[in-house]
Amino acid sequence: MDIHGHTALVTGGGSGLGAETARELARQGARVAILDRNEAAALSVAAECGGLGLAADITDTESVQRAMAQVRAALGPVRMLMNVAGIGGAKRVVGRDGTPMPLEAFAHTIEVNLIGTFNVLRLIAADMSQLEPLEDGERGVIVCTASAAAFDGQVGQAAYAASKGGLVAMTLPLARDLGQHGIRVCSIAPGLFLTPLLDGLPAEVQRSLAESIPFPKRLGRAEEFARLAAHIVTNRSLNGAVIRLDGALRLPPR
């Protein structure tokens, strides 16, 4: 799909990987809508992109539907969905004091990262399926954000790895399911990236993390994620794939 002139919706677009993805799509001529729980952040990135910034909770269907209606009215139908919103965090199954991990903590991570991502995807896909087909019968492209932790999650990442592993597992069936409507689905599984979370770590910790990456020996850059997301849109043969973007990193147990 040609990015220029079409509308893209970026969840979690107020910061980090999402914000840079929104900027890259805007640079390539897309009309961009940024959804984020932090309305001020969404508006700030939207101002940079000449787009639309909206507050929305991806786990709340009504919130997403309201945002979608505003996007349609202001920018037209969404042809590109970048599902970047998600949460991190780590918690051991059994704590140092012997208490079990709260079930609510596990459920919350699954609800945001897996169910929230699917919630936006299902609603946008239904809209996309009604659009006029483009070249090769294509109607839209959906990119989800998994993680290297989906394959080699570390101690304390049971919930996070499960949520991202769910995204990995559903990528192919989603592509097969939505292919009949001319909608492609891929996922990106980033490794260690210089996001606001890692940027807040001491320099020596950042250097140690970078040394664990075979090549290049540095943390990933948000623009590298954004360029891959944009390439997935433009390369029509990319479908049903989970692409690791990690410099050949395999996460150690700790």
Domain coordinates of the chain in residue numbers? 7-235
Q: Write down the pLDDT at residue 204.
A: 82
pLDDT at 190 > cutoff 80: yes
Local confidence band at 133 (pLDDT 50, 70, 90 cut-offs): very high
Specify whether the CB–CB gap between 143 and 85 falls below 8 A. Answer: no
37-61 confidence digits (pLDDT tens): 999 999 999 999 999 999 999 999 9
pLDDT average, residue stretch 139-161: 95
Q: Token pair of 76, please?
A: 């037209």
pLDDT average, residue stretch 172-178: 98
Q: Token pair of 65, please?
A: 């539907």
7-235: CATH number: 3.40.50.720
pLDDT at 13 > cutoff 70: yes
**Catalytic positions, please?**
160
Local confidence band at 125 (pLDDT 50, 70, 90 cut-offs): very high
Tokens 């929230």 correspond to 116
C-alpha closest to that of 10 among 135, 2, 26, 136: 26
Local confidence band at 34 (pLDDT 50, 70, 90 cut-offs): very high
Tokens 């809508």 correspond to 33
pLDDT at 158 > cutoff 90: yes
Strands 7-11 and 140-145: unpaired
pLDDT at 14 > cutoff 70: yes
Q: Write down the pLDDT at residue 8.
A: 98
Task: Say what percent of the chain tops pLDDT 70.
Answer: 99
Identify the burial level of 55 via C-beta atoms within 10 angstroms of its C-beta, where 0-12 means exposed, 13-18 middle and 19 or more buried.
middle
pLDDT average, residue stretch 63-68: 97
pLDDT at 200 > cutoff 80: no
pLDDT at 201 > cutoff 70: no
Q: Write down the pLDDT at residue 199.
A: 72
| Distant-in-sequence, close-in-space partners of 16: CB < 8 Å, separation ≥ 6 | 84, 193, 195, 196, 197, 222
Cα torsion 57, 90, 188, 176: sign: negative
Specify whether the CB–CB gap between 13 and 36 falls below 8 A. Answer: yes
184: β partners:
141
